[in-house]
Amino acid sequence: MKMSFVGNKIYPVTSRIYLNLGFYDVGQAKGYGCLWDSRRHLWYLHDDEYKHSGIIENIDLHKELKPFKMIGDKQFFI
């Protein structure tokens, strides 16, 4: 299993769930536990963290954040 290192945490390589948050939405993004993808310039959560974040259950929040996965250069909303 591949592992990636972010700060002091070790994450297994999983797919990322990106959120519709801008660079300056730092407080909100960090509140959800997001990390910044400097290559794509997007906030994201790992699959497991997204499932535990509560965004899925909150219909209004889910509509606001419009979570999606990136495959190549294409967005796939979830």
Enclosing domain of residue 61: 3-77
d(CA 65, CA 32) in angstroms, rounded, equals 11
Q: pLDDT at position 71, please? A: 82
User: How many structural domains is the chain composed of?
Assistant: 1
Out of 8-12, 13-17, 40-44, give the one with best mean pLDDT.
40-44
Q: pLDDT at position 65, please? A: 94
The answer to whether 35 and 68 have CB atoms below 8 angstroms apart is no
Does the pLDDT value for residue 4 go beyond 70?
A: no
For residues 56-78, one letter each, b for 16 or more C-beta atoms within 10 angstroms of the residue's C-beta and e for the rest, the string is eeeeeeeeebebbebeeeeeeee
Name the pTM for this structure: 0.78
- 2 or 28, which is more confident? 28
**Residue 65 main-chain phi, psi, to 5 deg:** -85, -20
